A and B are shown apart, each in its own frame.
Chain A
Amino acid sequence: EAGVAQSPRYKIIEKRQSVAFWCNPISGHATLYWYQQILGQGPKLLIQFQNNGVVDDSQLPKDRFSAERLKGVDSTLKIQPAKLEDSAVYLCASSLDYRTGIYGYTFGSGTRLTVV
């Protein structure tokens, strides 16, 4: 089975610029997550989708971050404008429908963002 696909792999931007990350989850996985992982820390949840609806975005900095999953499949995370502290790896993960049980996540390889 194909894994979770993310692009780009790396991105370097200047502060105040905008950037977008793309994620294609495993086919059939209804639940999609975006995590931010700062060097030396564990991943931190930014937003959770169930199909095309948002389940939890309580830790998403909504003044600069936005995410969508319009057709309930692939998803885009955007940062506008970027700050230096946004430098991190952005991980996308998917799982089977959380409403039917608790499942392990499948993560993509992430996008490493450097803001200079």
Chain B
Amino acid sequence: SQKIEQNSEALNIQEGKTATLTCNYTNYSPAYLQWYRQDPGRGPVFLLLIRENEKEKRKERLKVTFDTTLKQSLFHITASQPADSATYLCALTGGGNKLTFGTGTQLKVEL
């Protein structure tokens, strides 16, 4: 069966460090992969989209990699800040722009 796996344990890091979150998938051949941020009591917010033929994409302090051979995406936040604390969701796109989400990883950035 198709699976999208994100680390269910919270990731705690110190302010200023780089946070790296992992998304692994099985039995998918996604054309696109997206990352979203979700704060408590709010809907997910779109961050980045990367295509299968792109290896890396950047946006300000964010960087996403997409390895279709390893079936893995890495999401990096450089110079992390307490305001980056949230749950980060990985989502894969198949046909029809239908997004299937992982369970998310909670990030806590401590002073």
Contacts and interface: CB of A to CB of B under 8 A. Distances in A.
Interface of B: 4, 31-32, 34, 36, 41-47, 49, 51, 89, 91, 93, 96-104
Contacts, number: 57
A31 interface: yes
Contacts of B91: 42
B5 to A, nearest CB: 11
B96 A107 contact: no
Interface residues of A, number: 25
B103 A107 contact: no
14 contacts: A33-B99, A40-B103, A41-B103, A42-B4, A42-B89, A42-B101, A42-B103, A45-B100, A55-B96, A91-B43, A102-B31, A103-B97, A104-B46, A109-B43
The 3 closest A-B pairs by CB, nearest first: A107-B43, A104-B46, A98-B97
Name the residue among A40, A93, A102 with the largest chain B CB count within 10 angstroms: A102
Interface of A: 4, 31, 33, 40-45, 48, 55-56, 91, 93, 95, 98, 102-110
Contacts of A40: 103
